[in-house]
C-alpha cells in the first residue's frame, strides 16, 4: 500500500515535470524559434506553445525596438581632425528565424557592426559636416547598417549621433574661425553700406550741379546748422554766385 502510494506520487511528479518542460507561454511581443532534433522547425507564438521534451527546443526572441548605445568612437575626419563620436541605435527583429540562425548573438553583432560603420561613414566627411550635417550623416549610417543587417532579419530604424567631442585646441581654433567669420561679415556689410552711400551722394551731387539754386539753399542750411553753436566764432567765405549780383549792383551805381 505504501509502495503503491509512493509510486503514484513519483509518477505524478514526473507528469508535472513533463508538462512544465513542455509548456511555454510567449508574450505578445515574443516569438519562439523552435528546433526539432537540431533542425529548424517553425516560429511559434504568441500565447501557449507545447514542446516535446528532449526532441524540441525553443529560443525566445524579443520583437520590440531595441535602443542601443554606440560607445564613443575615435574618428579621423577627411580633413585630418581627430574627434570622439558617440551615437544611439534603434533596431528591431523582423525575422526571428534569421536572427537566431544566420548570426550568433545578434545583439552583440549589431553593436560591433554599428561601431565600425560609424567610423567608416564619418571618416569620409569633414569636421564641418559632422557638426552641421548630422541629419544627413544619421541617414547615411542607418542605410549602410540596414543593408548589412537585413540578412540577419534585423531592421535598423534610426541612428542618431549624440556627441562629437573635440579637444581644447580644436575648440579654440573653431572659436577663432567663427570670430574671423563674424569680422568678415561685418566688413562686408560696412563696405556695402559705404557703396550705397556713395551712390546716393553721387546722385545728390548730380542734382545740385544741375540746380545752382539748390546748391545755394544747401549752403545756407549748412550755415544755419553751424550758427546754432553760439560759443564758436566761424569765418567762412561767401560763394561768388551769392555775392556776385550784389557786387554788380554796386558797380552799376558807381
The model's pLDDT over 189-242, given as tens digits with 9 standing for 90+, comes to 877 887 887 777 777 667 666 666 565 666 666 666 666 666 666 665 655 555
pLDDT at 223: 61
pLDDT at 68: 94
**For the chain, first and last CA: distance in Å?**
167
pLDDT at 125: 87
At 76, the pLDDT band (50, 70, 90 cuts) reads confident
- pLDDT tens for each residue of 109-151: 999 999 999 999 998 888 888 888 889 999 999 999 999 999 9
DSSP string, 177-202: HHHHHHHHHHHHHHHHHHHHHHHHHH
The residues pairing with 161 across neighbouring beta strands, listed in sequence order, are: 87
CA distance 222 to 148: 80
- DSSP assignment, residue 69? E
**pTM as predicted:** 0.64
Fold type of domain 66-166: Tetrahydropterin Synthase; Chain A (3.30.479)
Q: Nearest to residue 165, comparing CAs of 47, 101, 80, 72?
A: 72
Domain boundaries, the chain: 11-61, 66-166, 178-227
Are 151 and 102 within 8 A, CB to CB? Answer: yes
Residues for the chain: how many in total?
254
Q: Which residue has the cell 520590440?
A: 64
Amino acid at each position: 500500500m505504501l509502495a503503491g502510494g509512493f509510486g503514484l506520487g513519483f509518477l505524478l511528479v514526473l507528469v508535472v515535470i513533463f508538462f512544465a518542460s513542455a509548456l511555454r507561454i510567449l508574450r505578445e511581443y515574443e516569438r519562439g524559434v523552435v528546433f526539432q532534433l537540431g533542425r529548424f522547425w517553425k516560429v511559434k507564438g504568441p500565447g501557449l506553445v507545447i514542446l516535446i521534451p528532449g526532441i524540441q527546443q525553443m529560443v525566445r526572441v524579443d520583437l520590440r525596438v531595441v535602443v542601443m548605445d554606440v560607445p564613443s568612437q575615435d574618428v579621423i575626419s577627411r580633413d585630418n581632425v581627430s574627434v570622439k563620436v558617440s551615437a544611439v541605435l534603434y533596431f528591431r527583429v523582423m525575422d526571428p528565424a534569421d536572427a537566431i540562425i544566420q548570426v550568433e548573438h545578434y545583439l552583440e553583432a549589431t553593436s560591433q557592426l554599428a561601431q565600425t560603420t560609424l567610423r567608416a561613414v564619418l571618416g569620409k566627411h569633414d569636421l564641418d559636416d559632422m557638426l552641421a550635417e548630422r541629419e544627413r550623416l544619421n541617414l547615411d549610417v542607418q542605410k549602410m547598417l540596414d543593408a548589412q543587417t537585413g540578412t540577419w532579419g534585423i531592421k535598423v530604424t534610426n541612428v542618431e549621433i549624440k556627441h562629437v567631442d573635440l579637444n581644447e585646441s580644436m575648440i579654440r581654433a573653431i572659436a577663432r574661425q567663427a570670430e574671423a567669420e563674424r569680422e568678415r561679415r561685418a566688413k562686408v556689410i560696412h563696405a556695402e553700406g559705404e557703396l550705397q552711400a556713395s551712390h546716393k551722394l553721387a546722385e545728390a551731387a548730380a542734382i545740385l550741379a544741375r540746380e545752382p539754386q539748390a546748391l545755394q539753399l544747401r549752403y545756407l542750411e549748412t550755415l544755419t546748422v553751424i550758427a546754432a553753436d553760439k560759443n564758436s566764432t566761424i569765418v567762412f567765405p561767401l560763394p561768388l554766385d551769392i555775392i556776385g549780383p550784389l557786387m554788380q549792383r554796386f558797380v552799376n551805381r558807381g
